[in-house]
Amino acid sequence: MAKLWGGRFESESSKLLEDFNASIGFDWKMWREDIQGSRAHAKMLKNIGILTQGELDSIMGGLDTIATMIESGEFVFSNSDEDIHMAIESKLTQLIGESGKKLHTARSRNDQVALDFRLFSLRANKSLRDSILALMQTLLTIAKDHTHTIMPGMTHLQHAQPVSLAFHIVAWCCSLQRDVQRFQDSFMRNNFSPLGSGALAGTPYGNDREFVAKELGFSAPTLNAMDSVSDRDFALDLLYDIAMLMMHISRISEELVLWSSVEFGFITLSDAYSTGSSIMPQKKNPDVPELLRGKSGRSFGNLMALLSVMKSLPLAYNKDTQEDKENVFDSVHTAKISLQILKECLATTTFHTQNMRKMATKGHLSATDLADFLVRECGIPFRDSHHITGKVVAYAEKKGVDISTLTQQELQSIDSRIKDGASAVLDIESSMEARNSLGGTASAQTLAQIASLEAFITQAKSAME
């Protein structure tokens, strides 16, 4: 079959080249964006007098038919069409004849692919933001029930100070909030229309680029045609945003894996989101968080892959950039499904609050509170109070109990400078509530953090409408 670009060629291209060169096998995914771009372009061509109203009507009708055909699966994509842009254009001419051939006036595949891919990336950006916000909402709903659920807060994966489960979940949400903000930032930075840049230098037709930009929902046209056809920063921004998001998802997942172990016993994942072992009948495995942790790897790889494709490209368009799409499609799909399954998995998880509390009374988590009490209430310098508290810990260790169980008499028998009221500060609940500084784990502070995140979600959602 003759190529749309075949005028100067005397013989046909080899089948091997055709398959190697084609991107239709993956870029068909941008058919919506391609048609959307063509509609706006056609309207503009009519406005500047290149198409008659009749030609515009027939192009619009043809594009509608093509959209219906693709949606129903009736449209057959073939490598001989090379890419989605030519597949749609040649089908249009097949359907409506001569006026179809006019659509590509004042446009090149270089600005066309830049437009389609940008539209696709911006759409994915919005949809991922929406999914992150939904995950945050689910987390906050769980958090609200657990502002008094005490668990060991850890550093070096060792028991450190008591915190609430809500506080821990809010910490996860803060990283997700930054993800949403990162997506917001890159959306604003890239929301410009490259269409009308032509092959690389602009067009001689007087394209109304402002009209096209507005028609497609961009904030404005891009500034420089040469940059516009060669820039893929918008795709890299998206890949980076996703890599960061997946890194956060991986960290949350790692904790879910740990928490579901017998050793922690903090959570049980629902049957719907756990798997069994083919040999050990008793097993229930946390495959979901493990896979999420693993999937972060491919999202980092996709970012590296596109950075490597782009790094030495001279201006302007080079065919190398055709290698930009599969990484992005894969990362978008991975992030989308990861957010969805993590949300469902968390919403159906059982939290073993008694176990959490029990574990918080192992490891003398309120030792710092006693040291602080000795400074505040007994006028003892911190170095000495640290030492006295060390003796109290040693006593408890010898007795085989946690310091939170020691009585006032026992404390005074260890060191007579320990005043009344000391045993009360050793209680893990009061230890948690004592950390009432801004951003701390005290329930009042955690509730304020939840309120702030909820306000953020409302505002982030309305910004997307």
Catalytic residues: 156, 277
Binding mask 259-278 for ligand ARG (x = CB under 6 A): --------------------
Residues in the interface with ligand ARG (CB under 6 A) total 10
Nearer to ligand ARG, 329 or 456 (CB): 329
Check binding of 321 to ligand ARG (CB under 6 A): yes
Among 110, 296, 385, 404, binds ligand ARG (CB under 6 A): 110
Q: How far is the CB of 120 from ligand ARG (least distance, A)?
A: 12
Which residues, 6+ apart, have CB-to-CB distance to 238 below 8 Å? Answer: 121, 124, 125, 186, 328, 331, 332
3-class DSSP string for the chain: CCCCCHHHCCCCCCHHHHHHHCCHHHHHHHHHHHHHHHHHHHHHHHHCCCCCHHHHHHHHHHHHHHHHHHHHCCCCCCHHHCCHHHHHHHHHHHHHHHHHHHCCCCCCHHHHHHHHHHHHHHHHHHHHHHHHHHHHHHHHHHHHCCCCCEEEEEECCEEEEEEEHHHHHHHHHHHHHHHHHHHHHHHHHHCEECCCCCCCCCCCCCCCHHHHHHHCCCCEECCCHHHHHHCCHHHHHHHHHHHHHHHHHHHHHHHHHHHCCCCCCCEECCHHHCECCCCCCCCCECHHHHHHHHHHHHHHHHHHHHHHHHCCCCCCCCHHHHHHHHHHHHHHHHHHHHHHHHHHHHHCCEECHHHHHHHHCCCCCCHHHHHHHHHHHHCCCHHHHHHHHHHHHHHHHHHCCCHHHCCHHHHHHHCCCCCCCHHHHCCHHHHHHHCCCCCCCCHHHHHHHHHHHHHHHHHHHHHHC
Q: How far is the CB of 22 from ligand ARG (least distance, A)?
A: 8
Q: How far is the CB of 114 from ligand ARG (least distance, A)?
A: 9
Which residues 399-458 are close enough to bind ligand ARG by CB under 6 A? none
| Dihedral over Cα of 412, 414, 417, 423: its sign | negative
Check binding of 322 to ligand ARG (CB under 6 A): yes
Q: How far is the CB of 63 from ligand ARG (least distance, A)?
A: 19
Q: How far is the CB of 37 from ligand ARG (least distance, A)?
A: 13
Check binding of 228 to ligand ARG (CB under 6 A): no
Among 23, 38, 404, 445, binds ligand ARG (CB under 6 A): 23
Check binding of 90 to ligand ARG (CB under 6 A): no
Q: Tell me which stretch binds ligand ARG (CB under 6 A): 106-114, 236-244, 256-264, 333-341.
A: 106-114
Q: Tell me which stretch binds ligand ARG (CB under 6 A): 202-210, 317-325, 348-356, 453-461.
A: 317-325
Q: Tell me which stretch binds ligand ARG (CB under 6 A): 32-40, 206-214, 313-321, 353-361.
A: 313-321
Q: Tell me which stretch binds ligand ARG (CB under 6 A): 38-46, 109-117, 185-193, 248-256.
A: 109-117
Nearer to ligand ARG, 331 or 443 (CB): 331
Check binding of 99 to ligand ARG (CB under 6 A): no
Among 67, 113, 392, 418, binds ligand ARG (CB under 6 A): 113
Check binding of 83 to ligand ARG (CB under 6 A): yes
Which residues 231-250 are close enough to bind ligand ARG by CB under 6 A? none
Q: How far is the CB of 309 from ligand ARG (least distance, A)?
A: 11
Nearer to ligand ARG, 177 or 321 (CB): 321
Q: How far is the CB of 134 from ligand ARG (least distance, A)?
A: 32
Judged by the rule CB under 6 A, the positions of this chain that interact with ligand ARG are 23, 27, 83, 109-110, 113, 317, 319, 321-322
